Amino acid sequence: MHILFDKNVPFGLRRFLNPHKNETLDDRGWARLRNGDLIKSAESSGFDLVITADQNIVYQQNLEGRRIALLVLGSNIWPIVRTHAAQIASEVNASKPGTYAFLEMPIPRKSK
Distance CA 48, CA 108 (A): 30
Of 7-11, 32-36, 40-44, 74-78, give the lowest mean pLDDT range: 32-36
Q: Sort strands 21-24 and 49-52 into parallel, antiparallel or unpaired.
A: unpaired
pLDDT at residue 111, rounded to an integer: 62
Cα–Cα distance measured from residue 98 to residue 25, given in angstroms and rounded to the nearest whole number: 20
Q: Which of 30-34, 37-41, 69-73 has the highest mean pLDDT?
A: 69-73
Please state the separation of Cα 50 from the chain's center in Å.
Answer: 4
Give the contacts of 14 (CB within 8 A, at least 6 positions apart). 5, 22
Q: Which of 66, 77, 71 is closest to 92 using CA atoms? A: 71
pTM: 0.90
For 59-111, how does the pLDDT look when each residue is reduced to its tens digit (9 = 90+)?
Answer: 777 788 899 999 999 999 999 999 999 999 999 999 999 999 999 998 767 66
Domains of the chain: residue spans and CATH: 2-103 (3.40.50)
